[in-house]
Amino acid sequence: MTDRDLLMIPGPIELEPAVLRALGEKTTSHVDARFIAAFGRALSALRQVAQADGAQPFIIAGSGTLAMEMAVQNLVEPGEAAVVVNTGYFSDRIGAMLERAGAHVTHVGASPGDAPAEADVEAALVKTRPKVLTITHVDTSTGVRAPLERLAALGKKHGALVVVDAVCSLGAEEIRATAWGLDVVFAGSQKALGAPPGLAVLTASPAAQAAHAARTRPVASMYADFAEWLPIMRAYEAGTPSYFATPAVNLVRALDVSLASLLEEGMSARVARHARTAAAFRAGATALGLTGLPARPELAAHTLSALRYPAGVDGALVGRVRERGVTVAGGLHPALKATYFRVGHMGAVSPSDIVAAVAAVGRALAASGHACDPGAAVAAATRALDA
């Protein structure tokens, strides 16, 4: 094992040195002028990353699951209908949250690794006339990337608010919130946004804010309530402090730095880089004789790869990869978790990281008795990167 493992899981991810420096700076007051400026910049940058003109950004201490909870709790009241486009574990989670909020939930699913047919989604929208349609853009459990733009168009066509779980996509996959009619886009700080874990982020469109304002009863959770946070977010973005609960000062400063780096790269360039990185890793994986969990190539996310164990290989592979200096993740989907593993390749991941990950997986497979040529796999990944 090396002294420093390369972290190649689907989040948290490796961080840029500048982000780590910001995280390690002396903690200041949450009303310090420098922090107010950093918080305001981060809010503005989040709006740009999601391409959510006119939307209200939120950055709250908590995980991506809190952001999911906020989306559900603020938009849905008991007795209202919701349709969940189900592509895995995290689609199940938002469905369970909707049920706890009292919604009548319809799941439109497919076999693990696939995405539901758009005709089936539309049929559910026609039948239930839901208040919200939820879409897991990339389900971290399966590596499936749903066709977000087309699904969102169906939601808008049938009058639903479109809620997008972008935890494993925002900052790496194409998302155009305003142009595509996405009413809430939520994520966590620790994946493609390139910051440490600990921040829930989301954007709420004017329609989402109006739906919240029209509620007939208060949001049950004070901490999750848009009404408590709206004046805080607006104040910080305007350059003045306000208080509801103490913000995570160092985490926000780290996010400010990571979002600035992301926007400096440019969203189009960043999306294209992640596509190239994913293609290179999968070229290496294919050369090792591995197959992906997603049912079709167009469903495979650019932020992670979910790969089936070959015959004769089991979950011990994850530990063998780590012994070779790279940390990857096991399976997560309950129906399949013992049959596959996951490799994250998002954020600051470099070409050398891709090569190192392919080499480590190849050597671990060979040590597990799988007939493969790790050198040929590295060459395949390198050719894809060079191309």
Position 28 confidence tier, pLDDT thresholds 50, 70, 90: very high
Q: What is the spatial distance between Cα 231 and Cα 113, in angstroms, rounded to a whole number?
A: 41
Q: What is the pLDDT of residues 71-118, one digit of tens each?
A: 999 999 999 999 999 999 999 999 999 999 999 999 999 999 999 999
CB 197, CB 63: distance < 8 Å: yes
Q: What is the spatial distance between Cα 58 and Cα 41, in angstroms, rounded to a whole number?
A: 12
Residue at which a domain ends, from 245, 264, 283: 264
Share of the chain above pLDDT 70, in %: 99
CATH number where 306 lies? 3.90.1150.10
pTM for the whole structure: 0.97
Q: What is the pLDDT of residues 194-219, one digit of tens each?
A: 999 999 999 999 999 999 999 999 99
Residues 277 and 249 in one domain: no
Q: What is the spatial distance between Cα 97 and Cα 83, in angstroms, rounded to a whole number?
A: 12
- The residues with which 329 forms a beta bridge, in sequence order, are 342
Position 3 confidence tier, pLDDT thresholds 50, 70, 90: low
Residues 306 and 256 in one domain: no
Residue at which a domain ends, from 217, 234, 264: 264
Residues 198 and 255 in one domain: yes
Element holding 132 (H helix, E strand):
strand 132-136
DSSP letter at 103?
-
Residues 253 and 332 in one domain: no
Q: What is the spatial distance between Cα 305 and Cα 143, in angstroms, rounded to a whole number?
A: 6
Residue at which a domain ends, from 221, 245, 264: 264
Domain that holds residue 280: 6-12+266-386
Region of residue 20 (left: phi > 0; alpha: psi -120 to 50; beta: else): alpha
Q: What is the pLDDT of residues 220-271, one digit of tens each?
A: 999 999 999 999 999 999 999 999 999 999 999 999 999 999 999 999 999 9
Span 168-189, average pLDDT: 98
CATH number where 167 lies? 3.40.640.10
Judge whether 1 lies within some domain. no
Total domain count for the chain?
2
What pLDDT, on the 0 to 100 scale, is given for residue 387? 87
Residues 233 and 280 in one domain: no
Q: Find tokens 């939820």 and name the residue.
A: 134
Residues 242 and 260 in one domain: yes
Residues 117 and 218 in one domain: yes
CB 315, CB 341: distance < 8 Å: yes
